[in-house]
A and B are shown apart, each in its own frame.
Chain A
Amino acid sequence: NAGVTQTPKFRILKIGQSMTLQCTQDMNHNYMYWYRQDPGMGLKLIYYSVGAGITDKGEVPNGYNVSRSTTEDFPLRLELAAPSQTSVYFCASSPTGGIRQPQHFGDGTRLSIL
């Protein structure tokens, strides 16, 4: 019953470093999403994917990159970490993009840029 798995759970980066946040799901969902949640705020969409090989920008894509080479995995990459990217990152998936399909969320990754 893994669902959506995110690694790592916590990470501290120095300004200018790069890293990849991993997300994998075992439900064979076509749609996957990356959100960030800043303190006291709701989630904002960074990128999403409607299937392997297809990605699109969300509301706040600057400073991030994604790829979707398989149905299961949807990694999020930060190339040059900046303090403004300190946040909690959530990955989510859904079977399709249909509005009746709820999104299943991972447990989040808390990222601090110092």
Chain B
Amino acid sequence: AQTVTQSQPEMSVQEAETVTLSCTYDTSESDYYLFWYKQPPSRQMILVIRQEAYKQQNATENRFSVNFQKAAKSFSLKISDSQLGDAAMYFCAYRGNNFGNEKLTFGTGTRLTIIP
């Protein structure tokens, strides 16, 4: 079974600075997808960024980028120019490519605080 580990329960960053959230995972599959979801106090789960395992190029979405290290099974999220609205819980998630295994496996989350 796949597992996703987020070893940082809480992180804080000064507004306008850069922060990196860590995520590692364990799988025996070769093709899969990785996601970062943001959950603000409103509780809604918002997709931030996604990465296909077969792509070597790291995904980027505006101020959000990932550092995907397939051999190390690491998938960190970098937030540049942090803004107050970035304060939220961030969840790393894994999704396999085998039929019957399309469900998401989530990490336990990292609570990000932005310091004004």
Contact = CB atoms under 8 A, between A and B. Distances in A.
Interface centre among B91, B93, B95 (most CB of A within 10 A): B95
A43 B106 CA distance: 6
A107 B109 contact: no
A108 B50 CA distance: 22
Interface size classification for chain B: 20 to 34
Contacts, number: 59
A53 interface: no
Interface stretch (B12-20, B41-49, B56-64): B41-49
B103 A48 contact: yes
B66 interface: no
A99 B95 contact: yes
Interface in B87-116: 91, 93, 95-97, 99-100, 102-104, 106-109
Given A42-B4, A99-B31, A100-B52, A105 B44 contact: yes
A100 B52 CA distance: 8
Given A45-B104, A90-B45, A102-B47, A97 B33 contact: no
A88 B32 contact: no
Nearest to A94: B102
A1 to B, nearest CB: 14
A100 B47 CA distance: 12
A41 interface: yes
B68 interface: no
A74 interface: no
A56 B6 CA distance: 27
Nearest to A58: B103
Contact of A108 (B44, B52, B91, B109): B44
A102 B35 contact: yes
8 contacts: A42-B6, A42-B109, A43-B106, A58-B103, A99-B33, A103-B47, A107-B42, A108-B44
Given A88-B43, A92-B45, 20 more contacts: A31-B102, A40-B9, A40-B109, A41-B108, A41-B109, A42-B6, A42-B107, A45-B103, A45-B104, A50-B102, A56-B100, A97-B99, A99-B33, A99-B52, A102-B50, A105-B45, A105-B46, A107-B42, A107-B44, A108-B44
